[in-house]
Amino acid sequence: MQSRRLRTRAVLSLLATLCGCRCSRLAGEVEDIDFTRCAQVDAPHERKLRTAQLELSIRDRVLSITTRPGLRIAAFSGPVGGSFAQADYGLLAAARAGLVFFLGGLGDDAALAAANLTALATLHVPVLFVAGGADRLPVIEEAFGSVGAEARELLIHASGLREVRIGQDRFAVVAGSPLGRYAVDAQACGFALADLDDIRAAFGDNSGKGQRSWLLSWGAPSGWGVSSAGAHDVGSPELFALAQALQARGGVFAYPETQAGLAMRDDKGERFAAVVPRLGRTGATRAEGGRVASSVMLLTWNAQGLALNP
């Protein structure tokens, strides 16, 4: 094992010497784990759009939303190895959401991923896709590049964002598996500590009056009560440290799947955290072997922040 780590580091060092930092910007390596730093992809192209429930704009790596309190947000993880069924689409349509958080599981190959994006575009609401540990960057980019121009305005590869702003609430966007620990291969998405440093720098002083911070990431932080699997906390201590630095009030996550559908608020009512269910034929798997059927979590944004839709 040690010799493999040394060989990996030697190869990365040689590539960096030959090419400079540009060729290694997306490479990740932690001990013997190789992954792709999907947060370092180009920012989504700048745009402005208006829908029935909101106005949206993207500039640099910040997406800003202006809306009235009561915005409905549909949140879920995708089917990974399959495509959305008609019943899945029916669940989404019935939610009547004005915004979609799609946290990982776009598809194993470009054809499946493109089909899933095309299905979501028919909702005619903005869809923010944040890549997870099973998402490979080449597949994501090919799928987003294959959709039509009209759909492309609504479908946002949000992995390259640093922040989503809804009113005075600021969501730190963290794509990929923590330090690549659950990335399926070297092309799959993970984040490095340097990516979290970029987010801290982008947020700067978050003590402004009336502002709240949240996490929007595939992986859940440790220590928040939503990241247990088999009696072990498999959450990310790195995300916990980021949340502490940003004074985050909560967040929305997709991993671990064993907590799919869980939404909780702490005793003081100061923190809201949720692990979204999987939308797709297979649903999600609990630690004890039980299953959570294909479903969508419906959230509401209002003057008090983020909450589970009653």
Residue 100 tokens read as 């979609």
Mean predicted confidence (pLDDT) in 247-270: 87
Query: Which pLDDT does position 21 carry in this prediction?
Result: 31
Candidate from 15-29, 136-150, 206-220, 258-272 with smallest mean pLDDT: 15-29
pLDDT of residue 265: 85
Average confidence (pLDDT) over 165-190: 96
pLDDT of res. 17: 32
207 by Cβ neighbours in 10 Å (0-12 / 13-18 / 19+) ranks as exposed
Residues in the chain: 310
Three-class HEC string of the chain: CHHHHHHHHHHHHHHHHHHCHHHHCCEEEECCEEEEEHHHCCCCCCEEEECCCEEEEEECCEEEEEECCCEEEEEEECCCCCCCCHHHHHHHHHHCCCEEEEECCCCCCHHHHHHHHHHHHCCCCCEEEECCCCCEHHHHHHHHHHCCHHHHHHEEEHHHCCEEEECCEEEEEECCEECCCCCCCCCEEEECHHHHHHHHHHHCCCCCCCCEEEEEECECECCCCCCEECCEECCEHHHHHHHHHHCEEEEEECECHHHCCCEEECCCCCCEEEECCECCCCCEECCCCCEECCCCEEEEEECCEEEECC
- Count CA atoms within 13 Å of residue 203 on its CB side: 31
For the cut 70, the answer to whether the pLDDT of residue 19 exceeds it is no
CATH number of this structure's domain 36-308: 3.60.21.10
Place of tokens 């999907």: 38
pTM (two decimals): 0.88
Q: What is the mean pLDDT of residues 90-112?
A: 95
What one-letter code names the amino acid at 39? A
pLDDT over 50 (residue 12): no
Residues 6+ apart with CB under 8 A from 213: 169, 170, 171, 172, 203, 206, 246, 247, 248, 249
pLDDT of residue 276: 96
Domain limits of the chain? Answer: 1-31, 36-308
Contact 267, 233 (CB under 8 A): no
pLDDT above 50: residue 109: yes
The candidate with the shortest Cα–Cα distance to 137, out of 259, 37, 245, is: 37
Specify the pLDDT at position 62: 97
* pLDDT of 1 higher than 60: no
For residues 140 and 23, what is the distance between their CA atoms, to the nearest angstrom?
19
Identify the pLDDT of residue 14: 34
